[in-house]
Chains A and B, each alone.
Chain A
Amino acid sequence: MGWQAEAGIYVHIPFCRRKCFYCDFPVLAARREATVSRYVDALIREIELWGEQMQAGWLASGRSGEAGQFVSLYLGGGTPTYLNSSQLLRLLAVLRQHFPLTPDAEITLEANPDRESLTEEKLAALRAAGVNRLSLGAQVFDDGYLRAIGRDHNVRDIESAFILARRAGFTNINLDLIFALPGQSIEEWQLTLERALALQPEHLSCYSLIFEEGTLFERWRAQGRVDPVPEETELKMYELACNLVSAAGLRQYEISNFARPGRESRHNLLYWRYQNWLGLGAGAHSHWGDRRWANLWPPGRYEDRLQEAILPIDTGTELSLSIEEMMEEMVIMGLRLIEGVSGQEFARRFGRSLDEVYGDTITRLVGAGFLARTPEGRIRLTRRGLPVGNAIFAEFLLTPGSLTT
């Protein structure tokens, strides 16, 4: 195999002050200090265990670059800033000690824009420790809607957190936004977009609200207490975002993501380009070569396993992927990107061309105007294909074993 993947590390901090009404992530609300420090200890033990594994040669074949360095480190959650400065700094130090990063590695921290968890002092310390990208969960610039979706910050908090971060030296900041909230009008969404863009972030993620199973919002929807916005409205909101954000100089590079050129999220690109990622922490997911697994959840089970110095992998989730599965996943993830999927890389990776595997499907979808072929041999969604991605992705699913004979 002449092909080498890039690799990144995701660290999951599963604590929040409270759980948002739309959230279906593995998250625990409001924990005692002892719970949090026990978790950090376990996390450090996991990092050390992986360090030993790497010494023994594990993960060696999935990292490009001279010394098998990682191109990204991402602290997500939950709310990583729920940890205090010393916990965060300790974590970063141990991570760097065991996982070699490239000199230009992206180190991202997700943060909640509230005054309690995001102080000036904490921001400065993190910046000094090498964190070079901040992702703020702003969600919506409207105090009423922030309350309605269960956030515990207000619009002033967002703006002051942003300014503090700039002052602390962060030159790469993302804002997460959610639209299509129950009752939200197109005008209200425009206001949120304008206030977000006024801060001049380097990166913007715009997601439409999804009523996920197991969330409060989904329960309320089923009970008729909240209504999803009409589909046409949602589509107009999406188009509005694409237009306004582009006009502000951010380029759309994924279905829901926009960035100043060069500031695209390297970490998320690992996912969308179907590279390798190692997930650390309770409930975190990993993908490495032809293997995929998730760590144990909840934190209690995760910590117990680490007490015994065993990697906290949930063996029930461990998968050895077939070539068909990897092909379809590469295409499904890659088509989310505006650049699409590279035919050359596909062929280098799997030893078969895109057309050999998907020729008929591609031709049909190109003919229908949902997909385009580029001169460089890529396939990508067209403007028309973008909003109906799922229907297109489903066309790329393969039957396991169908290509081996």
Chain B
Amino acid sequence: MALTDAIAAHFNYWIVIILMMTGFYLVIAHPNKINKLIGLTIFQTSVFILYISFAYVRGATAPIIVEGWDDYVNPLPHVLILTAIVVGIATTAVGLALVVRIHRAFGTIDEDEIQPLLTDP
């Protein structure tokens, strides 16, 4: 009972950890370069959720002064994560552009297939 309570109380963190490890595992283990980028995106997204869930205050409202409300959700992490999302998209874009060029240069995007092609100095 205590364990399920502990999990339920930190439910957002468990989601973050599962997503983060899923993404990280894909990056490390998958030989396909596009799948690696997908893993990287999941990895980054888990951090976005971490920030957003930090900011949440139960029973609070958006940070606009309204009669009858005393608790407000912190807007700053949302803004930070907007920036981080833009950075993440830029990274994915550059990564995908590289994959396109790798495909043109090697004819494949699978690491196990590229390895034997690397005989030139």
Q: Do A and B associate with each other?
A: no
- Listed in ascending order, the chain B residues whose CB lies under 8 Å from chain A are none
